[in-house]
Amino acid sequence: MRNEAEAVALREPGPRGHDAAASYVPPPRPWRAFRPSPKWFRAGAWIVHRLAWRLRLLEYALAGLEREATSTVTVPLRKRIRLWRRGFLGESAVLYDLQPGTLQDYLSDAERFVGSRTINGPYAILLDDKLLFDRLLADFPSLKPRFFGVLDGARVLSAQGVGGDSGARSLRDLLQRERRLAIKPATGGGGRGFAVFEALQDGGFALDGAPTSLERLETHGRAESRLMVGELVAQHADLAALYPRTTNTLRLITMQDETGAPFVARAVARIGRTQSEPTDNWITGGLCAQVDLETGVLGEAASFPAESSVLSWYETHPESGAQICGARIPHWQVIHSGILEVARTVPFLPYVGWDLVVTPQGFKIIEGNSYSGVNLLQIHGPLLRDERVRDFFRRHGALRR
């Protein structure tokens, strides 16, 4: 009826002798700032995105190829080629003592370098960038070391709300107040770039225990970009007794079960040696011992088989003489439950390697890793023998076999 009335109105003469049709104003067209993307553009964008993703995976794979090209572990070429076909690097034959019937129980190097790198998706940056990681732990101030800012030559630049200060302060003044500082790059891993700045009692300064000048420390701060300045956490006396010249840390791996609840998949203790100073890094010469998840008791410790074909095991520290096998991690139950509490607050990070220092009062988290080294975990036994772990990697598409 409405349409008919409108048609009649259009035919009837309007006021002042004009037709209604002449004065009719059509309704405004729908507002459109942009029209839909053309099909050719959508198809091209899909190709570009897929190509970029493939190139990113290729970048991850190149890390594995670099590892194979630079590894000094002694493995015959024929054996290496056989392992490559199954996704393993040559050094894995020595690290895991691989046998034909056990390969399926280990997360392969291809799955580690490519598959597991994508598990945390875009949120991985929160772990890869230590400045962001410090903010990620804002709800747990008692579990993180104090962060003073970023080193800029003779100055430490801090941000409002970080360490309780704003603006900049003198590196000299901060050193004289704190006496020892931990310096590390905001990105990267493996202990690369870590240094200890120290103010000595005689008024001098030291870099990684060696006496030096303040000018040398300031030059160190200018040579590297985005060096973080933080508290050098004092470790528990029981951990210091294993090797007192390095801070000996724990790494706990958390994953999520099918309900989204986090669990600790494996834990290891890293213990320094002369070769690894100033860190306890395993690849640079430190030791690695598994932590029993129920009791916190350490097993035997292994060293990386550089320029060797044999994995060496130690019940006692080869330099300090301290007993490793059978030693107990202090506050273990507090550490185990505390890490799970933190993991529950970041459900968007299903796969995290937490590095922490055991302190006299409990523990502090010093780093989070989105791409945790698997070799120092699997030297103590294959990860995929645990059905929860195997199911986790399968659900996240990391298993390629």
pLDDT at residue 32 in the model: 79
Phi, psi for 101 (deg, rounded to 5): -90, 0
Which span out of 84-88, 194-198, 332-336, 366-370 was modeled with the highest average pLDDT? 332-336
pLDDT band at 67 (very low <50, low <70, confident <90, very high): confident
What single-letter amino acid sits at 175? L
pLDDT at residue 159 in the model: 59
pLDDT in tens, 76-95: 989 999 999 899 999 999 99
- pTM reported for the whole predicted model: 0.85
pLDDT at residue 7 in the model: 47
Residue 288 has pLDDT above 90, yes or no: yes
Q: Which of 131, 111, 96 is nearest to 371 (CA)?
A: 111
Which span out of 189-193, 222-226, 232-236 was modeled with the highest average pLDDT? 232-236
pLDDT at residue 95 in the model: 94
Strands 227-231 and 363-369, by their bridges, are unpaired
Q: Which of 370, 344, 348, 355 is nearest to 116 (CA)?
A: 370
Sorted by sequence, the CB contacts under 8 Å of residue 227 that are 6+ apart come out as 150, 151, 183, 184, 185, 186, 193, 220, 221
Q: How long, in residues, is the chain?
A: 401
pLDDT band at 57 (very low <50, low <70, confident <90, very high): confident
How distant is the alpha carbon of residue 184 from its chain centre? 14
What is the arrangement of strands in the sheet containing 227-231, beginning at the earlier edge strand?
165-170, 155-162, 147-152, 227-231, 180-185, 195-199, 205-207, 210-212
Tokens of 87: 């996704």
The arithmetic mean of pLDDT across residues 83-110, rounded, is 91
pLDDT band at 19 (very low <50, low <70, confident <90, very high): low
Residue 26 has pLDDT above 50, yes or no: yes
| Gap between the Cα atoms of 392 and 388, Å rounded | 6
pLDDT at residue 262 in the model: 98
pLDDT at residue 64 in the model: 83
| Gap between the Cα atoms of 394 and 388, Å rounded | 10
* Burial label, 238 (beta-carbon count in 10 A; 0-12, 13-18, 19+): middle
pLDDT in tens, 363-375: 999 999 998 889 9
pLDDT at residue 1 in the model: 47
pLDDT band at 258 (very low <50, low <70, confident <90, very high): very high
What percentage of the chain exceeds 70 in pLDDT?
Answer: 91
Residue 276 has pLDDT above 90, yes or no: yes
Residue 273 has pLDDT above 70, yes or no: yes
pLDDT at residue 312 in the model: 93
pLDDT band at 9 (very low <50, low <70, confident <90, very high): very low
Tokens of 211: 């006496």
pLDDT at residue 155 in the model: 87
pLDDT at residue 223 in the model: 66
The arithmetic mean of pLDDT across residues 8-17, rounded, is 48
Residue 2 has pLDDT above 70, yes or no: no
Tokens of 241: 């007794």
> In the chain, what is the straight-line distance between the N-terminal and C-terminal CA atoms, in Å?
69
pLDDT band at 253 (very low <50, low <70, confident <90, very high): very high
